Homo-oligomer: A and B are copies of this chain.
Amino acid sequence: MFRQATRLFNSVSTSSIVGKVGLGRLNHVAIAVPNMSEATSLYRDVMGAQVSEPVDQKEHGVTTVFVALDNTKIELLHPLGENSPIANFLKKNPSGGVHHVCIEVDDINAAVKTLLDKQVKIIDPNPKIGAHGKPVVFLHPKAMNGVMVELEEK
* Chain A residues within CB distance 8 Å of chain B: 15, 19-26, 29, 31-34, 39, 42-43, 45-49, 67, 69-72, 74, 76, 93, 95-98, 101, 103-104, 114-115, 118, 120, 141-142, 144-147
Could you list 20 further interchain pairs (A-B, Cβ under 8 angstroms) beyond the known A46-B120, A95-B141? A15-B45, A20-B46, A20-B48, A21-B46, A21-B47, A22-B48, A23-B48, A26-B69, A26-B71, A26-B74, A39-B145, A42-B120, A42-B144, A46-B115, A69-B103, A93-B146, A95-B142, A95-B146, A96-B145, A97-B147
Say whether, besides A31-B145, A69-B26, A114 and B46 are in contact (CB < 8 Å). Answer: yes
